[in-house]
Amino acid sequence: MKKTYYLFNPGRLSRKDNTLKFTPIDENKKEGKPRYLPVNQVSSLFIFGSLDANSALYNFLAKNQITAHFFDYYEHYTGSFMPKDYLLAGKVMVNQTLYYHHSSKRMNIAQSILHGGVNNMLRNLKYYLNRDKPVDKYIQQIQIYQRDMDSAANPQQLMGIEGNIRQVYYGAFDEIVNNHSMAGRSKQPPLNIVNALMSFGNMMCYTLCLDALYHTQLNPTISFLHEPGTRRYSLALDLAEIFKPLLIDRLIFSLLNKGQIQQKHFEQKIGGCFLNPKGKEIFIQAFDKKVKETIKHNALNKSVSYKHLVKLECYKLSRHIMGIDPYKPFKAWW
Amino acid sequence: MIQITALHVHYLHICHRKLWLFSNGIGMEHTSDAVADGTLLHDTAYAHRTKRYVELDIPGGKIDYYDPANKVIHETKRSGKMEQAQQAQIKFYLYQLHELGIVASASLDYPEERKSDKIIWLDSDHKLVDSWISQVHQIAIAEISPPKREQRFCQSCAYYDFCWSVDLTS
């Protein structure tokens, strides 16, 4: 299994013979001992630190289908280097567009995706209900909204219901998370610790989904639940809807409740709250561990990682638009 | 009309779903360790071969090792598990050469099993390969994919996760 590499330290990444070489550079421009990343083992690079690189490197990354994602100092996602598409399939592209254009076909996929996401949110709440957190009223309220989903007339209405559900769901965070208050969702900028983690985590989940899409024949810009153009790669947002509760929310609950991430891992800036470098490192380590965790896949009769589950979701969508099997979203059962 | 390659003929003899997906651009070979392994074997087995044999460009692909003196195609495989499909692939190469006016034979080499199978061109093969080609066309242009069929080698197929990742229940 290829790995994701996270680069936090400033340095230079270059092509050395047929592999990747990372040379750390400290504040005094002094070069440290280089590290080699075996190119065949790299699936993508997440670049948080300041990085020197030349076109020879990008050509090399492209040849090896390695994506590079960039983040600014405040850990905002700023963009990606996506090598040119290597899996082109005209029929998939045409069908994906047809399914987007056909309003009931589009709604069918959009509703399925949202049902997957809501199911996974409810899973999280039920888990904490079993651990005596008073979240039953949130569960009931979400279930009421969920019933409205099937009668929504268009994706805009569906997104409206999604917004209502999220508002209730985030309300339950204050019952689940000990010692920290979320006080509703705030973003751009996030106003407190819980929101800072959520913004950072959601962005990581989006990027994970984008990476999975890149290695399939689906076009990442044509989406069903989100309007295409919401972001550059809006199909990644659709996929993230399903996996955010599973990967990010669970991670936030456990990091905060176990005290692995604390007040000291954040910087309070004017108008916002952000993870500091140490906090980022802790979060990414936990995230990376999470996506490598495996579950037993009954249908495939083998263990698959969360990362691979995202890829399987892409396959399921492909099968749906190719008329092979109807799409059913991934729903966590534990 | 799609350009039919030896791989299409190979897939025809293994799985029609796989052939349909592949013909429609939904290739999964990039995800497969087995495919990477085959390429590696191809590149590393019989290191001294390249001096004697030439690479042959044929429509839709190339034959990596061709012995022009004896008119023999050499194809390297890890194991003979897919024997029938491999032989069909070879027959297709011989067919292509035949079309170019060359009557050749072939050798399927299994370096790890230390054995080779000889394959010769029969006059009746022409009709046989013609029928494969029309079958490939028929499957490839179908609007809907052929149904999946569970076979013993599904688990080791590059398309396994694509075909079988159906909805999970607890």
ipTM of the predicted structure?
0.81
> What percent of chain A is modeled with pLDDT above 70?
99
* CA–CA separation, A227 and A297 (whole Å): 31
Highest mean pLDDT among A109-123, A180-194, B55-69: A109-123
Q: Which of B5, B121, B11, B122 is nearest to B63 (CA)?
A: B5
CB-CB contact of A75 with A48 (8 Å): yes
Angle at A51 between CA A48 and CA A53, to 5 degrees: 140
Q: What is the DSSP letter of A216?
A: S
* CA–CA separation, A86 and A67 (whole Å): 12
Tell me the average pLDDT across A263-290.
90
In order of A117, A132, A185, A197, B145, the CA distances from A170 in angstroms are 14, 18, 7, 13, 43
Contacts of A318 in chain B (CB under 8 A): 26, 162
Q: Tokens for A249?
A: 């929310």
Q: What is the DSSP letter of A31?
A: B
Pairing of strands B105-110, B72-76: parallel
* CA–CA separation, A331 and A121 (whole Å): 10
Burial of A119 (0-12, 13-18, 19+ CB in 10 A): middle
**E strand or H helix at B8:** helix B6-12
Q: In which residue are the tokens 């309070």 written?
A: A268
Minimal Cα–Cα distance from B30 to chain A, Å?
Answer: 9
* CA–CA separation, A247 and A299 (whole Å): 22
Length of chain A: 334
Can you list the alpha helix ranges (DSSP code H) found in chain A? Answer: 55-63, 90-101, 103-129, 136-149, 155-176, 193-214, 234-243, 250-257, 277-292, 306-321
Contacts of B165 in chain A (CB under 8 A): 297, 299-300, 312, 315-316
Instruction: Express each pLDDT in A230-269 by its tens digit.
Output: 777 899 999 999 999 999 999 999 999 999 999 999 988 8
Q: Per the CB < 8 Å rule, is B161 touching A90?
A: no
Q: Which of B168, B99, B170 is nearest to B133 (CA)?
A: B99
Q: Which residue has the higher pLDDT, A74 or B71?
A: B71
CB-CB contact of B48 with B74 (8 Å): no
Q: Per the CB < 8 Å rule, is A324 touching B26?
A: no
Residue type, A103: S
Which residues, at least 6 apart from B137, have a Cβ–Cβ distance to it below 8 Å? Answer: B1, B2, B4
Q: Establish if B167 touches chain A: CB-CB under 8 angstroms.
A: yes
CB neighbours (10 Å) of residue A116? 24
Lowest mean pLDDT across A79-93, A231-245, B41-55: B41-55
pLDDT value, residue B170? 45
Rounded-to-10 torsion of CA A192, A280, A1, A124 = -20
Residues 14-73 of B with CB under 8 A from A: 24-27, 30-31
Split at pLDDT 50, 70, 90, the class of A5 is: very high
Q: Per the CB < 8 Å rule, is B25 touching A89?
A: yes
B118 bridge partner residues: B107
Q: How many contacts does A have with B, using Cβ atoms within 8 A?
A: 66
Pairing of strands B105-110, B115-119: antiparallel
pLDDT value, residue A23? 94
> What percent of chain B is modeled with pLDDT above 70?
95
CB neighbours (10 Å) of residue B79? 10
